[in-house]
């Protein structure tokens, strides 16, 4: 009898374990997604499961994401426009048409035109924007001024700008204007230039500017397909403009610190953030502004398409205060300010910040104070009017130009040999 009871219990325990296993939901397989978004998804859908598939970046600066995508063992994946051709992914059966979901379709109809174009392949909504939008080349500000902080640095930088006889109207918008500004700056009296440099305090200004020119050309002309070589009038003209500035820099290369040891570049690169008052330089006649953007795609072979779409919608809502102004034609500004405060308060609380700090944040939030929010309404409006219409999202491939740059700057090669070396480097990528 005792033996029989033991057998019965063993069967029951086995059945119970099997039942528990059956009760466990199959996980949504998320490729290259963030842990924060996964936790938010599980909090919203506690009866579901998520398996994050991480990219191994030990295999190179882009990791093994392409291999993981091709293997197909995922439901939703997060990629970047600079890494993948969305049309090729769609043609290869790796990107589902998301327009069949009415929630996604409704949101897609409110995207800015350039953003909508970037996620569309023919009549197919092959992806949805996710995570970020950024310029491929940093923007610039005169003295790094934005006029908002009123800090001691801003006050001193503004005073130095005034001593140079310059105003915000001198902000360059093209590479040609940048070179002309440099020549004009270097013609100023040395006393007027005290406490300033032209464009960088570290390293060689000539090297910085030449690499900037290469980056502008590679993104605005090569990556976009406007040209397939550095051997063009556009690049040669810009190289000539830079040559004149290099002559002026070589004649007076010193950074001039003021009596307090202060020195500020006249032109400062700010960041690649597009919603800003920085200016993104054009090269030649190109009006495009090459950028990169995060994309969410769904595997057409997924058995959890609905869950995958839920995940995309969750990430869109979860990160709205940071991304919505860059994606959509209109936003509820105060709602985004509120979300920004709520996220900050939650983070400060989790870190054990002093109660007085958290109470201060809550008071600012409840008063509707928007001064701490990362974007001003003016910056968002400028982005929609001046930046977003110029955005294009090309694939980019890094290639090593440093040996060519070094040889040219040292005078070991002339312009013709330099251009040939750049083309060889681009061909070898």
Among residues 326, 281, 294, 284, the alpha carbon closest in space to that of 138 is found at 281
Q: Model-level pTM?
A: 0.88
Residue 281 lies in a domain: no
Residue spans of alpha helices (H) in 264-319: 305-318
Distance CA 242, CA 178 (A): 9
Per-residue pLDDT of the chain (429 residues; tens, 9 = 90+): 344 344 333 433 444 444 444 567 899 999 999 999 999 999 999 999 999 999 998 877 778 999 999 999 999 999 999 999 999 999 999 999 999 999 999 999 999 999 999 999 999 999 999 988 999 999 998 886 665 556 777 788 888 888 899 988 899 999 999 999 999 999 999 888 988 889 877 778 999 999 999 999 999 999 999 999 999 999 999 999 999 999 999 888 777 788 778 888 899 888 899 998 889 999 999 999 999 999 999 999 999 999 999 999 999 999 999 999 999 999 999 999 999 999 999 999 989 999 999 999 999 999 999 999 999 999 999 999 999 999 999 999 889 999 999 999 999 999 999 999 999 999 998
- The pLDDT, as a whole number, for residue 147 is 56
Q: Same domain for 216 and 145?
A: yes
Do 359 and 414 belong together in one domain? no
Same domain, yes or no, for 265 and 404?
yes
Q: Find out whether 367 and 391 touch, Cβ atoms under 8 Å.
A: no
8, part of any domain: no
What is the 3-state composition of the chain as percent helix, strand, coil, each rounded to the nearest 5? Answer: 50, 15, 35
Report the number of distinct structural domains present in the chain: 3
What is the pairing mode between strands 140-142 and 267-269?
A: antiparallel
One domain for residues 180 and 263: yes
Is residue 15 a part of any domain in this protein?
no
Q: For residue 169, what are the domain limits?
A: 140-269+399-427
Tell whether 7 is covered by a domain: no
* Token pair for 345: 């308060």
Cα–Cα distance for residue pair 275/383, rounded to 1 Å:
6
Please state the separation of Cα 37 from the chain's center in Å.
18
Place of tokens 């998520």: 50
User: Are 350 and 382 in a shared domain?
Assistant: yes
Q: Count of CB atoms within 10 A of residue 258's CB?
A: 14
CA distance 120 to 218: 24
In sequence order, the β-bridge partners of residue 77 are 31, 297
């Amino acid at each position: 009898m005792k033996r029989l009871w033991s057998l019965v219990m063993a069967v029951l325990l086995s059945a119970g374990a099997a039942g528990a296993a059956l009760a466990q939901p199959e996980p949504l397989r998320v490729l290259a997604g963030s842990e924060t978004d996964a936790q938010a998804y599980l909090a919203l859908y506690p009866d579901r499961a998520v398996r994050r598939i991480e990219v191994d970046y030990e295999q190179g600066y882009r990791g093994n994401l392409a291999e993981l995508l091709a293997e197909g063992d995922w439901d939703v994946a997060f990629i970047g426009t600079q890494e993948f051709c969305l049309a090729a992914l769609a043609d290869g059966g790796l990107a589902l048409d998301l327009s069949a979901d009415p929630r996604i379709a409704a949101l897609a109809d409110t995207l800015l035109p350039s953003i909508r174009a970037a996620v569309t392949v023919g009549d197919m909504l092959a992806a949805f924007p996710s995570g970020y939008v950024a310029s491929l080349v940093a923007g610039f500000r005169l003295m790094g001024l934005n006029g908002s902080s009123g800090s001691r640095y801003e006050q001193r930088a503004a005073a130095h700008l005034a001593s140079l006889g310059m105003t915000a109207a001198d902000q360059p918008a093209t590479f040609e204007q940048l070179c002309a500004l440099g020549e004009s700056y270097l013609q100023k009296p040395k006393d007027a230039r005290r406490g300033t440099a032209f464009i960088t305090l570290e390293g060689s200004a000539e090297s910085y500017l030449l690499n900037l020119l290469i980056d502008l050309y590679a993104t605005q002309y090569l990556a976009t397909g406007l040209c397939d070589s550095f051997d063009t009038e556009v690049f040669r003209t810009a190289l000539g403009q830079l040559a004149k500035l290099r002559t002026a820099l070589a004649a007076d290369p010193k950074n001039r610190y003021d009596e307090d040891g202060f020195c500020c570049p006249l032109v400062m690169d700010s960041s690649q953030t597009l919603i800003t008052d920085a200016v993104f330089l054009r090269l030649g006649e190109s009006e495009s502004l090459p950028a990169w953007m995060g994309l969410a795609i769904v595997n057409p072979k997924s058995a959890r398409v609905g869950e995958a779409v839920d995940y995309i919608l969750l990430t869109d809502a979860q990160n709205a205060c940071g991304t919505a102004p860059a994606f959509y034609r209109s936003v509820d500004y105060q709602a985004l300010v509120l979300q920004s405060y709520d996220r900050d308060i939650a983070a400060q609380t989790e870190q054990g910040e002093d109660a007085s700090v958290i109470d201060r944040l809550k008071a600012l939030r409840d008063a509707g104070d928007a001064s701490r929010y990362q974007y001003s309404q003016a910056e968002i409006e400028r982005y929609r009017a001046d930046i977003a219409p110029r955005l294009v999202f090309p694939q980019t491939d890094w290639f090593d130009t440093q040996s060519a740059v070094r040889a040219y700057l040292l005078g070991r090669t002339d312009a013709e040999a330099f251009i040939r070396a750049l083309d060889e480097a681009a061909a070898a990528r």
